[in-house]
Amino acid sequence: MGDREKIIDTYMDIFFARFGFYPKSVSAWHLDSYSLQYLQSKYSVLTAMNCDDQYTTDNYRLWGGYLGSPYFPDKNNSLVPASSFDNRVNLAMVRWAQRDLFNFYGFRSQSAYSVQVNDYLGIGQDTKYFEKLLAMYDRKDLNEFTHVNIGLENDYDLTLYKKEIKNVYLALKANHDKFNLHPISLGDFGDWFKARYPESSPAYFYRTGDPTGVSSGQVFWYQSPFYRLGLKSENGRTSIIDFRVYNREVYEDYFVTPNQDWALFHEIPAVIDSVKFPGTEVVLNIDLQLADIVHSKQWDYWQIAFRQDGKVLTLEPDRIVFSGFSAPVMASKDIKPLISKTQTTWELTPYTPYKSTTHPTWIFWLAVILLIYFLSKKIKRSGGPELPKYLVIGFIVALLTGLTLYRNGLLYPFGMGFWGPNGHDAIFHLSLIEKFSQGLTGLSHPQIAGQKIANYHFLFDYLAGLAVKVFGLSSLDLYFRIFPVLAGATIIFLLDKLMKSWRYSREERLVGLVMVFLAGSFGFLPKLLTGQDIFAGESAFWSNQSVSIFLNPPYALSIIVLLLFLNRLKSDAKIKTFEFLGLSLLGGLLSQTKVYAFILLLGALLFTKRYKLFLGVLVLGILISLPFTTLGGPSPFIFSPFWFPRSLFASYDRFYWPRLVEAWQAYEASGSFLKLSAINLFALVVFLLGNLGLRFLGFFEMIKTKSSGLSESLVRWIIAFGLLLPLLFVQNVNPWNTIQFMYYALFFLGIFMAKYIVRLRPILILFLLLLATVTSVGTLKDYIGYFSASRVSFTELRALDTLRDQPRGIVLSPLFSVPASSRVSTPKPLYSYVSTAYISALSGQPEFLSDILNLDITGFNYISRARDIQRFYDTEDKEWGIAFLQKNQIKYVYETRLQKIKLAPIDLNLETIFDSGEIKVYRYN
């Protein structure tokens, strides 16, 4: 956006320096709505001109806007005509090289059929053809006015076209009275147009035969601020050849993001596009060539009716009415047929894919609000206690923590946004949720088709899929907006109950609730030392902090299960059989909720000598996990002492200290035991204190006091093991994953820290609370910025929505490429962000291979698949390509602008089902 403003300012400054004023009209092959608004607001530009419709010429696709007619561009999309003053850019947009409305409609050189001299001379036409185009646009009996631009692009050799330009102006002079021509500058025209139409863009209607005389029949083009309709009538047969519903909610793809390609693809989605999809024309049972055309007096030129033998086709500005004959059956989300005995009406319902309001999420929130209301009324009537204010504060803090999720999966000017790790981690879970929402019994892997889900704790995804299926919720809304609210409230109430059982005061419980969510690390210190923002550095010492709890829903769910377990645990009394089974089941479920929590709980039970309960949890955990575990593979954990403290100083994105790393290596090489011990001890202290932040004060409370019961003893051991295990073990493939053991230690240490600092002076308490939350403030700040880290464009959302509507089948998509993706600006499309499962997450279709990071973690061998994928996109051997698709039962092939297949789709028996230029989707037949 800033670059565009600089470009515009530079051109305007040069113009002003030369002429002493700013221009009132501007022109370019394409001008986006953001640039148009800037030009109008800062420089008072009256008229802008862009290229008329064309499909492929000069690698520019401008397709689906007003044909050869002036309009007010919509604020969100420069090809959409504005329907009101509020949504319009307040300047006139006119089209350059206006087309021959009969012959332009094609995907090759048809755009050369235009009023521009070099165009029509190049296809063998002359001045007489130009005069016929004048007559085509002169149809003032069908329009309030018409407009034609005359000129030549300034990069052509004038000597080649000088004679024909002279002929054009002679023709204009000769036809001045015939066509009632009024020459006008672009600037003056914009002034007139704005005065003539104070609100909406006008409607236009054109009817013409072939001005070249080659083809028979006629075409009819109707365009209003709400839709564009193209019809062709020939030999008694009338067909809809083009139909587009204008959607003001959908921003053009490069509204706020740069186009980094040599080509431009900018089009309005079509209900019918017989150029892109030949053979999709829809036949109407009316002959428009024989029909009488009638204007409605009520609508002036805005409503057209065709009448033929009792049949009436009425084109109203915002709907289409079929009377006296049957309307064709249309499977489109952009129209809603209303059928009566005498007529069918197509109501326009512009469809925005993945818009949250299309899902009944509001019903869920209404039910929650009503439940809270009636419960509070019941408590009040019964004289029960009101909800303590500290719990309300705790709930607000939990809601605040949810800022890491709330805005994700919603639509913005750049498309669907994903902040932070949600562009990968959340997509992984959404893929599994979509899979389970389609079927709760199967375990087919949505990210590596033909394999079963294994070596992963998927309880959260299963329960979320169940909720999506039962309640009809959007998986995006459930994951990003419903779950964090419900989980946060549940954690607050369960934690409060646990602290009550530990005999914590109200003040201690309040501070405890705040600290378990907002206490952070000392990560701001290295950022401060290097001159960076103090509100940063959450994971500078490796561990994510509690503020990121909802970025890891299985972790949040495991906290809930742990708290349920601890609250149900009786202090020292003998556990009854039923309670034993319930506790064993809760503990065992942790193996499929978050295996790190399962291991920590087992360690805590063992060291508190609760052997029976230890065995119960262990046995049930094994029984629950065994069916989903691949036996015989490598161990998930590797003994690697001090990997985290050492890598802390060697990693650029952590506490980078290369001199220390060099010294460490030198002491190891020389065998200097004392120096090596000292540097290891130093690294250990920095690692632990850095991650703990002020939570280290909780240790003073733990040392000072004894456990109030068994649940507190278990928590103390969970803290101990949570800090110890990452120091000893790393995870196979991705070593840093074992840092998740520490998450539980950090969470529970916040409670002990709270109890310790509450005894201090109020001013010191306030200071410590502010210091403890510095990095958390920085983390939350990162999730409220304008741009997300990754996105899915509106165009690609339509591709995924198209794929979602197809029969179930395996999707083949390109491998993620680091070199190609590094050139893409942020917010990056998900296909250029990291290897993600976004296709299965948003379309619900299984993928041949995606998200190799998680496949690595869960132990899948995908090397041969990856090799075959790369070969498929690069191959020129069509026999091998077809055999590959057949062998792997691949139904759909996906292309992005970074990776396209080299063979012609027809050579691979591929049929195009979506094509935007940037994204293509093929179906294998």
Does residue 269 sit in helix, strand or coil? coil
* Residue with more model confidence, 890 or 678: 890
CA distance 216 to 220: 14
Residue 288 has pLDDT above 90, yes or no: yes
Q: Hey, how many other C-beta atoms are within 10 angstroms of the C-beta on 305?
A: 17
Residue 626 has pLDDT above 60, yes or no: yes
pLDDT of residue 472: 87
Relative to beta strand 890-895, strand 810-812 is parallel
Does residue 521 sit in helix, strand or coil? coil
Residue 798 has pLDDT above 50, yes or no: yes
Q: What is the dihedral of CA 752, 405, 896, 255, to 10 degrees?
A: -130
- Which tokens is 806 given? 């197809």
pLDDT of residue 389: 85
Contacts of 125 (CB under 8 A, 6+ apart): 212
* Residue with more model confidence, 506 or 531: 506
Q: How far, CA to CA in Å, does 397 sit from each of 403, 419, 452, 511, 753?
A: 10, 20, 39, 11, 17
Element (H, E) at 682: helix 673-692
Specify whether the CB–CB gap between 57 and 113 falls below 8 A: no
Q: Span 364-391, mean pLDDT? A: 72
Give pTM, 2 decimals.
Answer: 0.92
pLDDT of residue 534: 81
- Each residue of 53-62: pLDDT tens digit? 999 888 889 9
Residue 218 has pLDDT above 90, yes or no: yes
Residue 232 has pLDDT above 50, yes or no: yes
The arrangement of strands across the sheet holding 304-308 comes to 292-295, 304-308, 311-316, 319-323, 343-348, 335-339
- Which tokens is 861 given? 């061998």
- In this structure, what DSSP letter does residue 81 have? B
- Which tokens is 886 given? 């057949």
Q: What is the dihedral of CA 753, 759, 763, 766, to 10 degrees?
A: 30
Residue 188 has pLDDT above 80, yes or no: yes
pLDDT of residue 358: 46
pLDDT of residue 925: 93
Element (H, E) at 794: helix 794-804
Contacts of 32 (CB under 8 A, 6+ apart): 4, 78, 252, 254, 255
Residue 711 has pLDDT above 50, yes or no: yes
Which residue from 270, 315, 330 is spatially nearest to 339, judged by alpha carbons?
330
Mean pLDDT of the chain: 92
Q: How far, CA to CA in Å, does 517 sit from each of 539, 702, 751?
A: 15, 20, 10
Q: What are phi and psi of 619, to 5 degrees?
A: -65, -50
CA distance 107 to 479: 42
- Which tokens is 593 given? 């909720």
**Burial environment of residue 518 by CB neighbours within 10 A (0 to 12, 13 to 18, 19 or more):** buried
**For the chain, percent helix, then strand, then coil, each to nearest 5?**
45, 15, 40
Q: How far, CA to CA in Å, does 43 sit from each of 9, 22, 25, 48, 185?
A: 9, 7, 10, 12, 18
Rg of the chain over all Cα atoms, to the nearest angstrom: 34
Q: Span 611-624, mean pLDDT? A: 95
Tell me which of 162-176, 604-618, 665-679, 828-842 is least confident: 665-679
DSSP output for 170-225: HHHHHTTTTTT-----HHHHHHHHHHH-SSSPPPEEEEE--TTSSS-SEEEEEE-S
Helix runs in 705-773, H state only = 710-728, 740-757, 762-772
- Which tokens is 119 given? 């165009």
Specify whether the CB–CB gap between 271 and 332 falls below 8 A: yes
In the chain, how many H helices and how many E strands?
33, 27
Largest Cα span, the chain: 108
pLDDT of residue 449: 96
The arrangement of strands across the sheet holding 411-412 comes to 411-412, 415-418, 790-792, 828-829
Helix runs in 230-356, H state only = none
CA distance 755 to 893: 58
Identify the band that residue 297 occupies on the pLDDT scale cut at 50, 70 and 90: low
Contacts of 514 (CB under 8 A, 6+ apart): 393, 394, 397, 754, 769
Q: How far, CA to CA in Å, does 383 sit from each of 62, 365, 378, 379, 387?
A: 68, 27, 9, 6, 12
Contacts of 307 (CB under 8 A, 6+ apart): 291, 292, 294
- Each residue of 758-781: pLDDT tens digit? 999 999 999 999 999 998 998 999
- Each residue of 29-47: pLDDT tens digit? 999 999 999 999 999 999 9
Residue 26 has pLDDT above 50, yes or no: yes
Q: What are phi and psi of 284, to 5 degrees?
A: -110, 140
Specify whether the CB–CB gap between 235 and 214 falls below 8 A: no
Residue 754 has pLDDT above 90, yes or no: yes
* Fold of the 22-273 domain: TIM Barrel (3.20.20)
Specify whether the CB–CB gap between 268 and 63 falls below 8 A: yes
Cis, peptide link before residue 827, omega less than 30° from 0? yes
Q: What is the 3-state secondary structure (H, E, C) of 550-587?
A: HHCHHHHHHHHHHHHHHHHCCCCCCCCHHHHHHHHHHH
Residue 190 has pLDDT above 70, yes or no: yes
- Taking the alpha carbons at both ends of the chain, their separation in whole angstroms is 43
Contacts of 317 (CB under 8 A, 6+ apart): 203, 224, 225, 226, 299, 302, 303
Q: How far, CA to CA in Å, does 697 sit from each of 504, 635, 684, 689?
A: 17, 36, 17, 10
Identify the band that residue 513 occupies on the pLDDT scale cut at 50, 70 and 90: very high
pLDDT of residue 586: 96
- Each residue of 69-108: pLDDT tens digit? 999 999 999 999 999 999 999 999 999 999 999 999 998 8
Domain with CATH 3.20.20 in the chain: 22-273
Cα 299 versus chain centre, distance: 40
Helix axes 483-501 and 506-518, enclosed angle (nearest 10): 140
Does residue 721 sit in helix, strand or coil? helix
pLDDT of residue 530: 78
pLDDT of residue 58: 86
Q: What are phi and psi of 389, to 5 degrees?
A: -65, -30
CA distance 135 to 181: 11
- Selection from 138-152, 368-382, 708-722 with the highest mean pLDDT: 708-722
Owner of token pair 């049949």: 311
- Each residue of 438-484: pLDDT tens digit? 998 889 999 999 999 999 999 999 999 999 999 888 999 999 999 99
DSSP output for 815-828: PP-HHHHTTSPSSE
Which residue from 254, 226, 223 is spatially nearest to 84, judged by alpha carbons?
226
